[in-house]
Chain A
C-alpha cells in the first residue's frame, strides 16, 4: 500500500511530504529518547524511596511512634519556631514527621506491589482463558469484566473493606481482586490475535497441548504489555490504598501510612499545614516516578503499543 503510493507520487508535493514525515519520525524518536531518560531518572529516585523504606529502621532520626507532647505541632525546621531535630516538623502528639513519612512508604509499597501481583495473576489467567477458548467462557469472563469496569473501583473496595474489616492482608486481597479486569481485557484481545497466527497453528498441528501452547507460545508475546500495565497499576493502587487509609478504612493508626497520616493531618490543617502536606507529597512523588517509569517502559518495550 505504502510502496504503491510512494511510486505514484513522484511530484514535489510528495517529496515534501516524505521529508516532513522523516522529520516527524526523528522528532518522535528524540522524544522517545527523552522519555527514556526521564524514566531512568525516575527509576533512580524510586530506588532511593524504596531503599529508604527498606532501611527505615536504621536510617530514621526518631522512633516513628515515639510521642513527645512537649514538642507537638512543631513546624518544619526552616520555619520560625522550627526545630532542627525535626526537619519536617512534628504531628499532633509530637511524633517526628520525617521518620513517619519514611516508615509510611513501607506500607504503600508493600501493598502496591503485592496487590498488583495478585491482580496480574488473576487477570492474566482469566484473560488467557477468555481469549484462547472463546465461546461461553469468553462471554462469562467478559461480562464479569464489564460489570467490574462499569463500577467505580473505589466504592467496591470501600464496601468490601467495611465488611471484612481493615487490615494489611484484607487491603491486599481487596485491591488485588478489584484490579484484575484491566489485565483480562488487554490479555484477551492480544490472545485472540495471536491465537490465529501461524506459529500457534503450527504448534497445534504438531499436537502440542493447550497449556503448552498458551504458556510457551502465547504468554511470552504478552509479557511487555503486562509489565507496562502492572507498573502503571502500582501507582494507582498506592493512590487507592492511601485514600482508603485516609478515610480510616485502611491501615489503622498508630501504624504510619501515608494515607492515615494525611487523614489525621486534615484535622489540624487550620494551623499545622505540614502534617497533611508531606505525606501527600510523598504519595505524589512516588506515583509520579512510577508513572514515568511505566511510560518509559512502554516506549522501550513496544513503541507502537496503545494503552
Chain B
C-alpha cells in the first residue's frame, strides 16, 4: 500500500514536470515573445534590449531552470498584459472553474445514474434503447453548439435564463447542463455495463437466496460494487471534464481559468498561459491521485494487493 502511494507520487511529479516542459517548449521554442511584444517598426537594439530584459537571450535550459525554480514557490512571473503576478490572476479565476466542474459532474450523475441503473436492470427495454440513443447522440454533440442552442432557446426566445454571467444559481443552469451533457454519455455506459457485470455475480444470487428484496439487492449489494469502475474512469477522465469546462466557459463567458487562458492566448500573455496550464495540470494529477486512493480504500481487492 505504501509502495503503491509512493509510486503514484513519483508518477505525479513526473507528469507535472513533463507538462511544465511541454508548456515551456510550446511557448518559448515555437514562438518568439519579443516579436509579439514590440511594434513591428522597433529597431534591432530595441529587440535585443527587451530580449535581455526578459532573460530570453540565455540558453534554453537556463531559462527553463529559472522558470521551474520560481514556479515551485508559486512565482510564475508577471502578466505581460495586466502587470500583476500571473499566479494571482489564475488563482482568482480558479473557484468559478471548480464550481462549474462540480456542477457539471453533478448534472452528469443526475442524468447518468438513474438511466444507467434502469438500463442495466431492464436490458433491451425502451429505457435501455433510450440510453443507447442518448449516449450515441451525446458523444457526437459539439457542446459549444449545444450551449449556443440553449442560449437561443432559453435566453433569447423564452427569456427564462441569463445568457452569460456569474453569481446567481440561474447563471449555473445552462453551463452546468452543457458540461453535464458532455460527461453523461460515458458515465451512463459505465454504470450500465458495471451493474450488468455485478448483477451476474454469485453474491447477488446469495443475497436473493437469503430472501432480500430486489431493491435492497440492487442498492446495497450491486450498486456499490458497480461504483468502482465508474469512479475510476471518471477520475481518469477528469482532464477531459476540464477540457469540456474550457469549451463551456468560452461559450457562456464564464469567468473561470479557461476563459482567462483563452484570453491570454489571444493576448500572447505567456506567463499567464504557462501558469494556468501548469496549475490545471496539477489539479488534474491531484484529482487522479485522490480518486486512486478512494478506489483503493473502497475496494479491498486492490487494498490487499490481490
Task: Tell me the complex Cα distance, A162–B277, Å.
Answer: 14
Contacts of A270 in B (CB 8 A): 156
A159/B26 in contact, CB under 8 A: yes
| A288 interface neighbour in B19, B136, B277, B285, Cβ under 8 Å | B136
Shortest C-beta distance, B147 to chain A (Å), equals 10
A146/B281 in contact, CB under 8 A: no
* Chain A 151-179 residues near chain B, CB threshold 8 A: 151-156, 158-160, 162-164
B139/A143 in contact, CB under 8 A: no
Q: Which residue of chain A is the closest to B251 with respect to CB atoms?
A: A266
B281/A150 in contact, CB under 8 A: yes
A201 located at the interface, meaning its Cβ lies under 8 Å from any Cβ of chain B in the complex:
no
B156/A27 in contact, CB under 8 A: no
Provided the pairs A163-B30, A163-B31, A291-B136 are in contact, do residues A150 and B15 lie with their beta carbons within 8 angstroms? yes
A69 located at the interface, meaning its Cβ lies under 8 Å from any Cβ of chain B in the complex:
no
A284/B145 in contact, CB under 8 A: yes
A144/B31 in contact, CB under 8 A: no
Q: Which residue of chain A is the closest to B257 with respect to CB atoms?
A: A155
* Chain B 230-275 residues near chain A, CB threshold 8 A: 239-240, 242-243, 246-247, 250, 258, 261-262, 265-266, 268, 273
B145/A269 in contact, CB under 8 A: no
Contacts of A31 in B (CB 8 A): 124
B145/A153 in contact, CB under 8 A: no
B42 located at the interface, meaning its Cβ lies under 8 Å from any Cβ of chain A in the complex:
no
Shortest C-beta distance, A105 to chain B (Å), equals 14
B152/A160 in contact, CB under 8 A: no
Contacts of A159 in B (CB 8 A): 23, 26-27, 265, 273, 277
Provided the pairs A151-B19, A262-B148, A284-B140 are in contact, do residues A247 and B239 lie with their beta carbons within 8 angstroms? no
Shortest C-beta distance, B285 to chain A (Å), equals 6
Provided the pairs A147-B15, A247-B262, A269-B152 are in contact, do residues A154 and B246 lie with their beta carbons within 8 angstroms? yes
Provided the pairs A27-B124, A159-B265, A287-B140 are in contact, do residues A152 and B239 lie with their beta carbons within 8 angstroms? yes
Interface stretch of the complex, out of A46-54, A95-103, A126-134, A238-246: A238-246
Contacts of B141 in A (CB 8 A): 284
Q: How would you classify the secondary structure of chain B's contact residues: helix, strand, loop or mixed?
A: helix
B18/A155 in contact, CB under 8 A: no
Contact with B along A267-303 (1 / 0, CB 8 A): 0011001001100110110011011100100000000
Contact with B along A29-53 (1 / 0, CB 8 A): 0010000000000000000000000
* Chain B 100-127 residues near chain A, CB threshold 8 A: 123-124
B187 located at the interface, meaning its Cβ lies under 8 Å from any Cβ of chain A in the complex:
no
A149 located at the interface, meaning its Cβ lies under 8 Å from any Cβ of chain B in the complex:
yes
Shortest C-beta distance, A253 to chain B (Å), equals 16
| B148 interface neighbour in A249, A266, A287, A291, Cβ under 8 Å | A266
B79 located at the interface, meaning its Cβ lies under 8 Å from any Cβ of chain A in the complex:
no
Contacts of B148 in A (CB 8 A): 262, 265-266, 269, 276, 280
Contacts of B247 in A (CB 8 A): 154, 243
Provided the pairs A31-B124, A155-B280, A269-B152 are in contact, do residues A146 and B261 lie with their beta carbons within 8 angstroms? no
Task: Tell me the complex Cα distance, A287–B139, Å.
Answer: 9
Contacts of A155 in B (CB 8 A): 243, 246, 258, 261, 277, 280
| A152 interface neighbour in B31, B145, B243, Cβ under 8 Å | B243
Contacts of A249 in B (CB 8 A): 265
Name the residue among B137, B152, B240, B284 with the largest chain A CB count within 10 angstroms: B152
Contacts of A242 in B (CB 8 A): 142, 144
Provided the pairs A152-B242, A160-B30, A269-B156 are in contact, do residues A147 and B22 lie with their beta carbons within 8 angstroms? yes
A147/B19 in contact, CB under 8 A: yes
Q: Which residue of chain B is the closest to A288 with respect to CB atoms?
A: B140
* Chain B 271-300 residues near chain A, CB threshold 8 A: 273, 277, 280-281, 284-285, 288
| B144 interface neighbour in A153, A246, A291, Cβ under 8 Å | A246
Shortest C-beta distance, A174 to chain B (Å), equals 10
Provided the pairs A27-B124, A152-B280 are in contact, do residues A239 and B15 lie with their beta carbons within 8 angstroms? no
Shortest C-beta distance, B198 to chain A (Å), equals 16
B261/A158 in contact, CB under 8 A: yes
B11 located at the interface, meaning its Cβ lies under 8 Å from any Cβ of chain A in the complex:
yes
A150/B140 in contact, CB under 8 A: no
Provided the pairs A159-B273, A288-B136, A295-B136 are in contact, do residues A280 and B142 lie with their beta carbons within 8 angstroms? yes
B130 located at the interface, meaning its Cβ lies under 8 Å from any Cβ of chain A in the complex:
no
Contacts of B142 in A (CB 8 A): 239, 242-243, 280, 283-284, 287
Shortest C-beta distance, A233 to chain B (Å), equals 12
| A163 interface neighbour in B26, B137, B258, Cβ under 8 Å | B26
Shortest C-beta distance, B291 to chain A (Å), equals 13
* Chain B 21-40 residues near chain A, CB threshold 8 A: 22-23, 26-27, 30-31
What are 22 pairs between A and B in contact, CB < 8 Å? Answer: A31-B124, A143-B14, A146-B14, A147-B19, A150-B19, A150-B285, A151-B19, A151-B281, A158-B246, A159-B27, A163-B26, A163-B27, A164-B30, A164-B31, A243-B247, A246-B144, A269-B151, A276-B152, A284-B142, A287-B142, A291-B140, A295-B136
Q: Name B's A-contacting residues (CB within 8 A).
A: 11, 14-15, 18-19, 22-23, 26-27, 30-31, 123-124, 136-137, 139-142, 144-145, 148-149, 151-152, 156, 239-240, 242-243, 246-247, 250, 258, 261-262, 265-266, 268, 273, 277, 280-281, 284-285, 288
Closest 9 pairs between A and B when the two form their complex, measured CB to CB = A280-B145, A152-B243, A147-B18, A163-B31, A288-B140, A287-B140, A162-B265, A163-B30, A154-B243
Supplied contacts A151-B19, A155-B280, A287-B142, 9 more A-B pairs, CB within 8 Å = A143-B14, A146-B18, A154-B247, A158-B246, A160-B26, A163-B30, A249-B265, A262-B145, A283-B142
